[in-house]
Amino acid sequence: MRNQTFVAEFLLLGLSKGLKIRLLLFGLFSVTYAITLVGNSIILMLIWLDPRLHKPMYFFLSHLAFVDICYTSSTVPQMLVNLQNPRQTIALAGCVVQMYVFLVLATTECILLAVMAYDRYVAICHPLHYTFLMNKRVCMKLAVATWMSGLLLPVAHTVLTWRLPFCGPNLIDHFFCEMPALLKLACADTKIVEKVTSVGCIFTLLIPISFILMTYIRILVSVLKIQSAQGQHKAFSTCVSHVSVVVLFYGSAIFMYMRPESSHSPSQDKMVSLFYSIVIPLFNPIIYSLKNRDVKEALIKILQRCRRFCLSSGKHEMPN
């Protein structure tokens, strides 16, 4: 009986039971989701179209934008459906698949942010060797390693969760199938899954954030050795966007997965999940466009091209 599944589907309780609040949240998150997709798509388009952005830093930024599009898409559509129909159920298989996809993308983003920190370290601490150390082949290998790590690291606790028996109730007090909320419904000992998850957090959270901290300590030491204030400002400005994203993403992820089980509450977990699954993917393109001069210049250049194209098209369409 240990591997038998008694519950075939789950009901996501979502964020609110009130009709007016659900309609308000549906409109709010629909707009947020649309802006997130458009913002990250613009980042991808700019990096693809502008030759000045064909650099390792922006190569990894394009991967971050793609991860954020997939990341928010793994939860928001399901949440919007549930806001319209709160009795909408999700099968156990679909729930586990959603959980795995979410963990894959979260893990990939964690490791990708560490890779981006390494890129900044090489650019600032070893500028003369940057082209050699971060050539196209190296960047491709780092990107492949990042995605492979993201795909493989969540496999163990996903399989273990899949094998747990769920006897009921089948009500998940969340807006998507996140692991902590799902484990609460298992009618078996979940200590093994929790231990595997803790080990996974070491590889996906603690090791990458430790690497990022050590990297930025080295960067700080190198920058302080620069004689001119202008040179220091230029070096720091290339790191501001990345540091902002790291603080937002890792702060919320560590708070969610590394705090004691006794301190978890459904309402608090949902608010934290909303922040790192919806708000952060929305903010990332804004942070990089506002803090990065190259991205702003590329955006202005594209807008000017579009304006000239529209004006020239309008002149051709005017009657003689």
What is the topology classification, in CATH, of domain 9-292? Rhopdopsin 7-helix transmembrane proteins (1.20.1070)
Q: Per-residue pLDDT tens for 184-225? A: 888 888 888 888 888 888 899 899 999 999 999 999 998 888
Neighbouring C-beta atoms of residue 234, cutoff 10 Å: 14
CA-CA distance, 253 to 205, in Å (whole number)? Answer: 8
Looking up tokens 């969540």 gives: 154
pLDDT digit string (tens) for 269-306? 788 888 888 888 888 888 877 667 778 788 788 777 77
Give yes or no for a contact between 285 and 43, defined as CB atoms under 8 angstroms apart.
Answer: yes
Q: Which amino acid is at 239?
A: C
SS (H, E, C) 106-161: HHHHHHHHHHHHHHHHHHHHCHHHHHHHCCHHHHHHHHHHHHHHHHHCCHHHHHHH
Please provide the average confidence, as pLDDT, over all residues in the chain. Answer: 85
Residue 260: pLDDT over 80? no
Burial, 285: exposed, middle or buried (Cβ in 10 Å; 0-12, 13-18, 19+)?
buried
